[in-house]
Amino acid sequence: MSPLVERADRLAALAREREIDLLLVSEPLNLRWLTGFTGSNGLAVLGTAHSGPQGLFITDFRYVGQVAEQVPPLWDRREASLELLGPALSEHMPEWAGEGRPRVGFDERHVTVAQLGRVREAIGERCELAPAGGLVEELREVKDAGEVSRIREAAHLADRALREVLERGLAGRTEAEVALDLEIAMRRHGAEALAFPPIVASGEHGALPHAEPRAIVIEPGVLVTIDWGARLEGYCSDCTRTYAVGEPGDLEREVYAVVLRAQEAALAAIRPGLEGREVDAVAREVIERAGYGEHFGHGLGHGVGLAVHEGPRLSRHGEQPLMAGMVVTDEPGIYLPGRCGVRIEDLVVVTEDGADVLGTLPKGLQVVD
């Protein structure tokens, strides 16, 4: 079975368990995962009957050729000139052969209130609409070998770009200049896009976990946190390193050592079956014992795939057990307001008995120019 047919098959089975007869999928990343379609306007209608997955794929004039190339014939491909989540659905929805009215699942996390109103107007009399969001996201969490290798490639590419930027030095350039340099380097190394705008945060700005690069020159004697990722064939990478520009102070060294210990402890703990919150607790305990617990205010990590932030969550609230094939980050940090911040982030794939790091960069405290 080709991967796309298999995905439709597994999604149909999952939707059937939730008593959904027809599932609507329109969110672009979910649609890409399910059908291969990379455009911005498409609607998949997946039938979940036991006889095997059957689907309709509706798009507009702009994407008809692209759909023919990307979406496999499992999907009955149609063109519509009207709003997909609305009148087009009424026109193309398959005749219902089952008893009563079909239960049509929509994604309440992504379908807007206005869209739902139009869907209701178009097909509300013929079917029962039921919220069924999160099913595709649930399946997306476990990656197949092809997905893992794309993420690994994206991570390697991002690493090469960072190495190149470090060779040019950080001191004397502004945070914004370094961020732009990194963006261009990733694109030149083959990234189709950025996974997200890079964070380059020096000195006291390092204490802001999601700092925006400033037009401020990086001075010797500070720590610089860089968080960046590339996108390749749709898949994201995500990595953070913190560097010392010139000799760091004692406090900076100590904080770095604590974060590194926490990061490595969590990395060693990751394995299938462990809940996200249990992995989070491993890193958090190291940081708390060192006395910095209140300065680690975010979760340990998150899933990465077509989206840079997706499930599962590795945080105090992550109740989901890890499974082999999940790709997650391990990124503890300590943020000292007005002084400095350290975050170290690796991207890893959960294996049968542990985790494989997908990046290539060393983690010991590195002093750079």
Tell me whether residue 12 or residue 307 sits nearer to Zn ion (CB atom): 307
Q: How far is the CB of 36 from Zn ion (least distance, A)?
A: 26
Distance CA 320, CA 312 (A): 7
Other Cβ atoms less than 10 A from the Cβ of 330: the count is 27
Strands of the sheet containing 301-303, edge to edge, are 310-314, 301-303, 327-330, 346-350, 355-357
**What would the x/- binding string for Zn ion be over residues 174 to 213, using CB under 5 A?**
----------------------------------------
Please name the amino acid found at residue 115: Q
21 is an interface residue for Zn ion by CB under 5 A = no
Tell me whether residue 183 or residue 238 sits nearer to Zn ion (CB atom): 238
Tell me whether residue 21 or residue 183 sits nearer to Zn ion (CB atom): 183
- Give the residue ranges of DSSP H helices in the chain: 3-17, 28-35, 64-70, 89-92, 113-123, 135-140, 145-167, 175-188, 250-269, 276-289
Q: How far is the CB of 246 from Zn ion (least distance, A)?
A: 25
Distance CA 340, CA 250 (A): 12
330 is an interface residue for Zn ion by CB under 5 A = no
**What would the x/- binding string for Zn ion be over residues 230 to 269, using CB under 5 A?**
--------x-x-----------------------------
310 is an interface residue for Zn ion by CB under 5 A = no
Tell me whether residue 239 or residue 340 sits nearer to Zn ion (CB atom): 239
Who contacts 119 (Cβ-Cβ below 8 Å, separation ≥6)?
24, 85, 86, 89, 106, 111, 129
Tell me whether residue 50 or residue 210 sits nearer to Zn ion (CB atom): 210
227 is an interface residue for Zn ion by CB under 5 A = yes
Tell me whether residue 71 or residue 201 sits nearer to Zn ion (CB atom): 201
Distance CA 68, CA 324 (A): 34
Who contacts 61 (Cβ-Cβ below 8 Å, separation ≥6)?
79, 81
Interacting residues with Zn ion (CB under 5 A) = 227, 238, 240, 329, 345
